[in-house]
Structure 1
């Protein structure tokens, strides 16, 4: 029995370290570039203003402080997005929609299961985290966090910086941004997020000739390219001395990004 249990743990661990591939869900490719309407993200911005705490190297979330009204407003925001057909909006408006929805759903998942030490504790016995759980329905399509990130955002926009703006509620993750995404500020926030992460020790930590990188660069190496391409990408945002990727190791901290 002990051997079987050990094998199951190894299976779960292996599943957690295998990043999903970007596989397009064609249904979500449609857009209406003639539509100049915008989607209101003020409820999400209100949540960020009230509960997100900014530190020099990390943004943390005050999950313990979220009131019943705060939970209601977050749920109202998510339900509003779920009732919106993003395909009827422009591509820029859609990008902000999906990023904000992903991050809001992640926060809601933590709140629904709080207290906990790590998002990886959620999901079924054979799951490493909740990313495959169907969390909401849009246009009669049930979606999970993995659907949003790997079947919509990554394959449609094909921008490696997406990894810097979808937050997994963990200390090792790129920071949850204090601004809600909009069609107008997405490019600024993408650049800001990339720079902040790459210049943090959780993104890139240099010790002599050794470089400790976030596991994101290992899991999603297909998005960042070969070693030379990744090095160029990092140095595009690095402040100070450029990094040389000669001796690389990877790490990731799954501890909850909680502010006490």
Structure 2
């Protein structure tokens, strides 16, 4: 494997990334960031954790974006289309509290795949959700047959991927949920976070209660939250209030 490093290679052949230290991997990720090599960085992270392949998706507000949210993957396209779409649809149905509690917690699932050029038809997947800045990402690994991936190494890899994504996509990821909110919606979100009722907010801002409720409904729709409490939790996590 050619690392394209400016100095000595990260490892010598044969390549065994499971024995590479986190510090060495960080140096390689820095090189990938400088050259814009997304696939190279994610491939190294996948091998570091001992997985057979990776899929990285950005969790957006609108599930209609579908596979546009998949940033990079080395899986066969049909597998990306199937598993990636299922992943995004499942996350769209997850509450804000559940999303927060699942951060950096590896979740395993087994599915039977047909074709796709895989060695085995029964495949185990590991999904990890992590935050990078104000954005949330989903990292999915394809587990080797008859191999149990270390949860400690998975969490460590998720942290390294967060570092990688925060720098690699800082100029690319501009369309986020909070940027869809208008100034008036953000103002209403601030006041409900302060514990104000719709009547109180209407008095403070100087508009009708029905208009306030419309703004709050719009906030919950745009942030994919179901209650005011979830909207507040979302606002706190994204530093909006």
Same fold at TM > 0.5: no
Higher share in strand: 2
Structure with larger Rg: 2
